[in-house]
Structure 1
Amino acid sequence: MILINSKNSELKNIVILATGGTIAGTGIAGKTTNYKAGNLDIKSLVDSVPSLDEIANISYQQIANVDSNDITIDHWLTLANRINEISKQSDVDGFVITHGTDTLEETAYFLDLTVKTNKPVIVTGAMRPSTATSADGPLNLYQSVALAANDLSKGQGCMVVFADGIYSGRNVQKVNTFKTNAFNSIDLGCLGYMRDNIPYFLNKSIKPHTVDTEFDIFGLKELPQVSIAYFNIDADPLIIDYLAQKSEGLVIAGAGCGTFSSAWIKKVKELETKGIPVVRSSRTGSGIILKDYAIDKSTNCIPGNTLAPSKARILLSLALTKTRDYSEIKRIFEEY
């Protein structure tokens, strides 16, 4: 249970769950580089945003305070279970998750598949630390709280707010290493825009999410291990053997439309006898992976649809909590 500080009964009650990242980072005043991520606690972060208490009643909790490269599956399970628990409170209207940008898209997709509430769940972060000139974190946090407090956000799944854009947790990708508009959804577009505290929705994700998914992580202590193999010219097929020793499933970041060499095709076929499913994704960052009759000769080779390799890994891992049947896993990738 979390205590809600309802100062204004006319405002929505929003819970901020903090995990660290650049948005909570500090460094040399004015500089955007060589800072320490996850250095501010959530109270300091909230206090730095002007007028936040004018758009919602804010409560907060520190789940972690780390660089997002140090986020683990344990963090994911803790975060999703915490949201599922708190969302049962009638006096909670929505959630905002503060997160580092490097793995933000992965956490957003995991929450999109595992959170069991129609209440808004918004993930945000920053490309500049809090001590930088023109730090972007305060506006991103302000707009995320505003979106979480807006009735239009109900039932939209986990969303990401960044640089005035609204993105679905499924489709969002980090596309730049340092610019403040570092996120978009490539071919699939944004859901809409934020202008100050007002959302303007233009699109909607039709893929199942949150309460409509078949995934239940309650009681889970870990997820099946899934690894990613990156294909390139003359890539050693023994990479597949190595990863298969440690994994229950494998994602291949293939060339073009998820393709790879005949030597890799042979290795994938060998994994079929070991009961290891292999998902074909693409290193290109956009497009769709459909059945390729030249490559998908093995029943365990599964097209990854529009999911980037890191997100295909998440879906395959969750699928393996339910089934080991190749046809069922294919159905899951077609559906989600």
Structure 2
Amino acid sequence: MVSVRVLSLLGTILTAVSMQPALAHAGQVGSAIATMHKQDSLPRVLVLATGGTISGKADTRSAIGYDAGAVSGQQLIAGVPGVEKLAQLQVEQVSNIASQNMNNQVWFKLAERIRQAFAKNEADAVVITHGTDTMEETAFFLDNVIRVSRPVILTGAMRPSTAISADGPANMYEAVKVAADPQARGRGVLVVLNDAIQSARGVSKMHTTELQTFHSPNLGVVGYVDPATVRFITAVKPRQPLALPVDHMLPQVQIVYGHADMDARQIDDAVKDGARGIVIAGMGDGNVSDTALAGMERARKAGVVVVRSTRVGSGFTNRNVEVDDDRYGLVASMDLNPQKARILLQLLLANGKTTPEDIQSAFQAGL
């Protein structure tokens, strides 16, 4: 006969064995609930995809040929390992274009969606995926019209998603990491690529194909990021955003490129074509020929605002150096390159700023 003690022990063992699946299931449920709670506590990041190289696919036309905007934002996020541990992500496709086709309509769509997302508390931060060719322009436009302190980050890639050693996933991961970091608040729109955090005002694309193409030659980087850390090395500065034009229209402003043997035909043509502003991408410190300067004087007399910038990759365009800005009623772009000077002038004109004095003050306000 089997003793009572043995039977009791056997019963205990059988009971424990029979409960193992339930206990395992309970453990799995508990772990899932804990994961859900942890996920719910993460910052909410809205990803607005616009296309660009980061969403590109290789093409056979050359060894480095590719078609931009061939991958959706959702597919892009799915290819970034671990990004879901940084934030709760919501992805929306605003456009899917190469950034050379970026336009005012997409800018306004982005600005309005960001404003709506923050006003309705849908997100704690926004990340925008964008092509590199005009990234600095989109960033600068948004930086001048977004009035909230929540982070807005632009990122992209120099290699398409199908390339060997594609840089998009790492840039996307680090952009989300910066967006989710409390230190990013109040800094305006930032650009994050290749471990560097740069301001919308300072950043420029400086190389046609190099991965480390983005630099801030006049203002320097504002911080650094890697998979482990976010480090800002500059203080938060006060910002004075401009009103977003309610009609979603920007005045016509033309850029005229300076060169040897420069005449005034493009300046005169811009005036005839109805431009309200002209930005000169001048030589050196924003210099032009005497013939072109005479054209700029005619433009001013016709009521057109004229801003002197420079075609040189770095340095300030200062007032009254070789050109007497006071005499001709011209504006010096300071640190802004021609493409950013154009955007700021468009926004100032749309906000009713038309005198050289007011416009010059606005160009210097962001420094």
For normalisation by structure 1, the TM-score amounts to: 0.93
1:11 alignment partner, SS class: coil
Per the alignment, residue 342 of structure 2 pairs with: 313
Greater C-alpha radius of gyration: 2
2:190 alignment partner, SS class: strand
Q: Which of 243, 257, 278 does residue 270 from structure 2 map onto?
A: 243
Per the alignment, residue 288 of structure 1 pairs with: 316
Tell me the amino acid that sits aligned with residue 330 of structure 2. Answer: C
Alignment of 1:213-252 (within 5 A): 213=241, 215-246=242-273, 247-252=275-280
Q: Which of 351, 358, 362 does residue 328 from structure 1 map onto?
A: 358
Q: Please identify which structure carries the higher helix content.
A: 2
Equivalent residues of 1:23, 1:130 under 8 A apart: yes
Q: What is the CA-CA distance between 1:89 and the residue it aligns to?
A: 2.6
Tell me the amino acid that sits aligned with residue 349 of structure 2. Answer: L
Tell me the amino acid that sits aligned with residue 259 of structure 1. Answer: N
Tell me the amino acid that sits aligned with residue 169 of structure 1. Answer: A
Tell me the amino acid that sits aligned with residue 327 of structure 1. Answer: E
CA distance 1:297–1:268, shift in 2 (3 Å): farther
Per the alignment, residue 27 of structure 1 pairs with: 58
CA distance 1:103–1:50, shift in 2 (3 Å): same
Q: What fraction of aligned residue pairs are identical, expressed as a percent?
A: 37
Alignment of 1:78-157 (within 5 A): 78-157=109-188
How far apart, CA to CA, are the structure 1 residues paired with 2:235 and 2:347? Answer: 24
Tell me the amino acid that sits aligned with residue 190 of structure 1. Answer: V
Higher relative contact order (CA 8 A, sep 6+): 1
Equivalent residues of 2:155, 2:175 under 8 A apart: yes
1:87 alignment partner, SS class: helix
Q: Which of 264, 274, 278 does residue 302 from structure 2 map onto?
A: 274
Q: What is the CA-CA distance between 1:6 and the residue it aligns to?
A: 9.1
CA distance 1:32–1:19, shift in 2 (3 Å): farther
Per the alignment, residue 11 of structure 1 pairs with: 42
How far apart, CA to CA, are the structure 2 residues paired with 1:220 and 1:204? Answer: 35
How far apart, CA to CA, are the structure 2 residues paired with 1:258 and 1:57? Answer: 47
Q: What is the CA-CA distance between 1:186 and the residue it aligns to?
A: 1.1
Q: What is the CA-CA distance between 1:309 and the residue it aligns to?
A: 0.4
Equivalent residues of 2:262, 2:288 under 8 A apart: no
CA distance 1:135–1:304, shift in 2 (3 Å): same
How far apart, CA to CA, are the structure 2 residues paired with 1:314 and 1:32? Answer: 35
How far apart, CA to CA, are the structure 2 residues paired with 1:321 and 1:161? Answer: 29
Q: Which of 311, 330, 333 does residue 301 from structure 1 map onto?
A: 330
Equivalent residues of 1:32, 1:129 under 8 A apart: no
How far apart, CA to CA, are the structure 2 residues paired with 1:250 and 1:171? Answer: 22
How far apart, CA to CA, are the structure 2 residues paired with 1:218 and 1:267? Answer: 30
Q: What is the CA-CA distance between 1:104 and the residue it aligns to?
A: 0.4
How far apart, CA to CA, are the structure 1 residues paired with 2:52 and 2:202? Answer: 21
How far apart, CA to CA, are the structure 2 residues paired with 1:306 and 1:277? Answer: 18
1:152 alignment partner, SS class: helix
Unaligned runs of 5+ in 1: none
Equivalent residues of 1:6, 1:13 under 8 A apart: no
Q: How many residues align?
A: 327
Matched, 1:162 2:193: yes
Equivalent residues of 2:263, 2:289 under 8 A apart: no
How far apart, CA to CA, are the structure 1 residues paired with 2:276 and 2:107? Answer: 19
Root-mean-square deviation (CA), in Å? 1.8
How far apart, CA to CA, are the structure 1 residues paired with 2:296 and 2:100? Answer: 29
Matched, 1:262 2:290: yes
Tell me the amino acid that sits aligned with residue 148 of structure 1. Answer: A
Matched, 1:37 2:88: no
Q: What is the CA-CA distance between 1:266 and the residue it aligns to?
A: 0.9
List 4+ stretches of structure 1 deviating above 4 A: none
Moved more, 153-162 or 194-203: 194-203
Q: What is the CA-CA distance between 1:147 and the residue it aligns to?
A: 0.5
Moved more, 131-140 or 240-249: 240-249
How far apart, CA to CA, are the structure 1 residues paired with 2:98 and 2:306? Answer: 30
Unaligned runs of 5+ in 2: 1-35
For normalisation by structure 2, the TM-score amounts to: 0.85
